[in-house]
Amino acid sequence: MNILLTGGTGYIGSHVAAALISTGHEVVCFDNLANSDAVVIDRLEAITGTAIPLVVGDIRDGDALRHALTEHGVEAVIHFAGLKAVGESVAQPIKYYDNNVRGTLSLVEAMADCGVKTLVFSSSATVYGEPRYLPLDESHPTSATNPYGRTKLMIEEMLTDIAAADPDWRIATLRYFNPVGAHDSGLIGENPNGIPNNLMPFISRVAAGRLAELSVFGNDYDTPDGTGVRDYIHIVDLADGHVAALDTIVKIEPALSTWNLGTGQGYSVLDMVEAFERVNSVRVPYRVAPRRDGDVASCYASPERAARELGWTAQRDLEAMCASSWSFERTLAMRNSD
């Protein structure tokens, strides 16, 4: 298929582009470069040996989307474009509703106008809110604790209404747990601007000496070692999950399906520090700090539905996640010293 990736030069989009091309699909990236760099296209071309068109545009610009959809003969869209910083969404909710919700509305309008009705959407485990039971399955009640999470929930509801009104749509809502790690090539990975909010990029930068120490947000949770437990999933496994979802929705009946993409295995913050140090023979100094607002003790997936319906399960272990994160961090350091 010919697939348009909104947010295609971002962290997850770039890995999905590589996975799609390796399975014979063609991709077009559509990104406003708000949180990524066009150099990612050069790296993807080096990885895949394929020319990849990049349209620099904003998903709120319907004309630009319609033009890209028709000019490239697009048959399906994977929609990654969005803002994702929880703290920023609390401070600037209008920016988040505008970019994420209005942006998605603009996208589905353009798709409907062009007769493209196959869509995979990047949702998040954040839509489960405070877990009422674990592991989290797709039937767990949804709620939001911050504007970022609310944008994901609003978009899921919007897509549900669209699918109910027109059964020709084929929509997959993918609820990601905690994607980490990098492509085996070391050429693409997660490189957030400024100080990282998420654990793995923070650990990598501490190990590289770019940051002095990790703050462990709370060690008094009701978990085995008192630190927060999450379901970390290797980015390459997550990317493969998108290929499986896309290949599945074009063959099945429901207009909308929802799948968790996680491993089902929870690791604590201290498990992550220990594994990163052991696998990469580095030191990650840390100190215990107060809990971070909005954090939950434990959050991990039931990956059963994806295994059953997509024939997909995560293959890569914690060691592979830590090794690839470090390999990408070192590639970055080498590039910066050039």
Shortest CB 26 distance to ligand UD1, Å: 29
Six token digits for residue 9: 């030069």
> The dihedral of CA 142, 145, 149, 153: what is its sign?
positive
Q: Comparing C-alpha atoms, which of 261, 291, 245, 290 is closest to residue 180?
A: 261
Strand pairing partners for 288? 216
Shortest CB 221 distance to ligand NAD, Å: 20
By the rule CB under 6 A, 274 interacts with ligand UD1: no
By the rule CB under 6 A, 269 interacts with ligand UD1: yes
Pattern 143-172, ligand UD1, x by CB under 6 A: -----xx-----------------------
Q: Using CA atoms, how far apart are residues 102 and 290, in angstroms rounded to an integer?
A: 36
Shortest CB 283 distance to ligand NAD, Å: 25
Q: Which of ligand NAD, ligand UD1, none has residue 86 at its interface (CB below 5 to 8 Å by kind)? A: ligand UD1
Residues in touch with ligand NAD (CB under 6 A): 6-7, 9-13, 31-36, 58-60, 80-84, 99, 103, 122, 124, 176, 178-179
Give me the phi and psi of 54, to 5 degrees please. Answer: -115, 125
Residues in contact with 9: Cβ distance below 8 Å, sequence separation at least 6, in sequence order? 29, 31, 33, 36, 37, 38, 40, 41, 54
Q: Using CA atoms, how far apart are residues 170 and 253, in angstroms rounded to an integer?
A: 8
Measure the CA angle with vertex 24, ends 18 and 25; round to 5°: 70
Using the minimum distance from each CB to ligand UD1, give the nearer residue, 123 or 248: 123
Pattern 208-247, ligand UD1, x by CB under 6 A: ------xxxx----------x-x-----------------
Using the minimum distance from each CB to ligand NAD, give the nearer residue, 82 or 181: 82
Q: What is the binding site for ligand UD1 (CB under 6 A)? A: 84, 86, 124, 126, 148-149, 178, 197-199, 202, 214-217, 228, 230, 269, 292, 294-295
